[in-house]
Amino acid sequence: MQVFGGRGQKVVEREEHPLDELSQELQISQQTLVRWVDRHLIDGTLDWVLSDDNEEVRVIRLRKGKLDDLREFAADYREGHVTRREARRILKMIDRKKVKKMVRAGDIETVQIDEEKKVLISSIEDYLMSVEAGRAEE
């Protein structure tokens, strides 16, 4: 009888990274990092661990040595731009007027590309991170 996970299985070493710290380092919102893990865009798993202060902390476990790949992926992502419709999807907002107000207020930045106004992903991520920081302080 063969034991599940027995012979032939290679143990993958993983490093734990607190989600909030990784978010700050990469300048990518926690929401986006979680979505990337859920959609398998990055090879990681989500988990909860206890801190030294006995508080629950959300972590992402990445394969050992994959943090540099994630840094590159995040940097490339932040340099991109999307349509306002896609920006609403990322922001989880349905109301087109809200996105227009955010653009006018300067909360998110746009660029003109081929007669179409596109939203900079870096500004969306900065906005999401500011919202997350606001929630954490409450």
**For residue range 41-98, what is the model confidence (pLDDT) as tens digits?**
988 999 999 988 899 999 999 988 889 999 999 999 999 998 888 888 888 765 678 8
**17 DSSP β-pair partners:** 60
What residues does each domain of the chain span? 13-79, 81-138
Q: The whole model's pTM is what?
A: 0.78
- Of 56, 55, 57, 26, the residue nearest 42 (C-alpha): 26
- pLDDT score of 67: 93
Say if residues 127 and 107 touch (Cβ distance below 8 Å). yes
Say if residues 50 and 63 touch (Cβ distance below 8 Å). no
- Per-residue CA distances from 56 to 84, 106, 130 (Å): 36, 35, 22
CATH numeric code, 13-79: 1.10.10
Cα–Cα distance for residue pair 38/88, rounded to 1 Å = 19
What is the per-residue pLDDT across 6-51, written as a single tens digit (0 to 9) for each?
555 666 788 999 999 999 999 999 999 999 999 999 889 999 999 8
- pLDDT score of 100: 83
